[in-house]
Amino acid sequence: MAEPQHAQPAADIPGAAGSAIMVLVGAAAIWAARDYSDLGAVFPRTVGALLVALGIVYIVLVVIGRTRRGTPADGSFARRALVAVVMLAWGFTLGPLGFLPSCAAAMAALLLIAHHGTWTLRLALLYGLSTAAVLGLLYVLFKIALQVPLP
């Protein structure tokens, strides 16, 4: 009698493709940082190097068969698509609107998309204050501490 055949899990080709894209994005970030000041280039170079290194690690794991294709997560496709749309819009509005207005609009949109429960005045105020605090801290970090040129 023949042994039962166990199906091999499919390799995570979409994950490898996404990792390859992240390697390219990381390399582009490192390349773009060449025009920044020494201190301003620290963040994009660090993030770019991490994207390149971790992307390559994942591709190697796929090649040697140490990964498998994941099952789709439960949740709303519409919410995921809206998050992608908001992030793209944020990227395209950074230049024309500037850092603070585009980030505030993107964060507000993401909060509206991600929140599942009912809205209360207290919750809206809490979200507004926390958004202002996060944006303020990010602005100080990038503009003043790291001297990253912001739009």
The domain segmentation of the chain, as residue ranges, is 10-71, 72-151
N-term to C-term CA, the chain? 70
Under a CB-based contact definition with an 8 Å cutoff, are residues 87 and 106 in contact?
A: yes
Q: What is the pLDDT of residue 2?
A: 56
Q: What is the pLDDT of residue 75?
A: 74
Q: What is the pLDDT of residue 111?
A: 93
Q: What is the pLDDT of residue 67?
A: 87
Side chain identity, residue 50: L
Q: What is the pLDDT of residue 89?
A: 96
Residue 106 has pLDDT above 80, yes or no: yes
Report the distance separating Cα 72 and Cα 74, nearest Å: 7
53 or 1: which carries more pLDDT confidence? 53
